[in-house]
Structure formats: C-alpha cells, structure tokens
Amino acid sequence: MKALIFDMDGTLTPSTKKISLEMMDTLSSIRPSYKKYLVTGSDLNKVVNQIPEEFLLKIFSKVFTCNGTRVYDTNLDLDDETKPLEPDLVHKIELIDHYSQADLNHLISRLLSIASESHTKYKTGTFLEWRGSQINFSVVGRNCSTDQRENYVIWDNKSNERRKIVKKLEEEFSGWGLGFNLGGQISIDITRKEWDKTYSFKHIPENPLDCIFFGDKVVEGGNDYNIAMKCGKYYDVSEPKDTILLLQKYLTKSK
C-alpha cells in the first residue's frame, strides 16, 4: 500500500469539531513512505476551522473538498517566496456548468419544501449550503447546536428520515444525473452521480488498489461507501479514537 486517504468528520475529528492533539500527533507519526490525502464533503473554510492550515500543509499531499470536486495542492515549498503559502486550488467543477439556473432553482425549492414537511423536533436555519459543485441539505439546519444535532441523530436513527428523503429525491429527480448521499450526521450531499469521493482519484497518482481509506460512512448510501469500495483496503470507523487505534500499525514506531 502506498497511500492513506482520510475522511474528516467522524474520522479525524468529531463532527464539526476541532482535531485533537492526539490525532495530530498520530498523523505526524505515520511512516513517510505513505502519501496522505484528505477527502471530505466539507468546503475549505470548514476544513481549516477544524484542522489548522499549517498542519494541512505539513501532513497532506492534497486536500479534496466538496467530495473531491475541489482540489487543493498542499505539498508546497514553503521556503520559496514565489510559490503559494496556503492550500493552492488547482481544480474545481460547478453544478451551474451542467444545469440551468431554472433547474437549480426548482431543485432548491423542492428541498426547502421537504424541510418544511419534516417532523423533526428542531429546525434551526441554513437548511441548504451551496458549495458550487455540491448542495448540502439538512432538515434540522446547519445552525443547530450540539444538543440539537445529537437529538436529530437519535431521531434519524429511529425514523430513517434521511434515507427516506434520499429515496424520494432519487425518484423525483430520476434522469437528472444527480447523486444523493448521506453526509456526516445530519445532512444529505447532492451532486452529480459521478462526482462522489471517487472523483478524487482523477488527481491522486496512486492506483486506488494501492490506497487505504478511513471513513465513518462506509455504508451503502453513505458518502464514504463508493471510495471505500474502490480502494484496496478500507476501515469503517465509528469515531476518531478508532482511527487512532487503527493507525498504530502505520506509524514510524509503536506508541
């Protein structure tokens, strides 16, 4: 195996929370023979809010945001003043290049209608987050507090609300070429079917069979499933502590 690929929320960090010092120390101790890549559904602003930018530049060769559709080169020469000193955007794609504004307006209106129909206990606002190549949709809203998020996770596990919404959207937008996948704890990622996390392999030089993936949504319909299935090996984790334990065999020395 030549490369380790990591999801962020639930894998390297608690969902929406900052990375721990223990995780940073573990990642720093991985044998240098392994290339390391970060592939997340979040945008770069959320990534740097959870993982310090200087650490991204130190550890990862590339950072893939929005499920791999935005590619940042982080393998930079920080001693060369003529080169970028922050993650360098080298590739991006946009939904607007494939759909008319009228079509996107119709999709967004339908998502807001679905949010209004939900019987979840809390609705907090920011039900939609536009990420260029992706729409992140949450019926509880991305403004929710930690307690409200945990309440929704319990509700979703009991009701399977997100899976039911995905099925409804797949039926209503059949033929649009859209993919609907569970993202994180509270949301649904909406993008083109071919723009799931496997899209990142267009910009990862290693063969997928030489890669090991770490993620917490390696279930059918989860946004880690397709990339995990394409890799030579994968680990389905429940929390960052699992990742730390699994990484022990890839460290320079045992801890």
Report the catalytic residues.
Answer: 7, 9
The alpha-helical segments, DSSP class H, found in 202-249 are 225-230, 240-247
CB crowding 79-106: b at 16 or more within 10 Å, else e: eeeeebeebbeeeebebeeebeeeeeee
Angle between helices 146-159 and 161-172 (to 10 degrees): 70
Beta 88-92 vs 70-73: how paired, if at all? antiparallel
Distance, in Å, from the CA atom of 88 to the CA atom of 92, rounded to the nearest integer, reads: 11
Cβ–Cβ contacts within 10 Å for residue 16, how many? 19
Task: Give the residues across from 135 on adjacent strands.
Answer: 130, 190
The 3-state secondary structure of 146-179, one letter per residue: HHHHHHHHHHHHHHCHHHHHHHHHHHHCCCCCEE
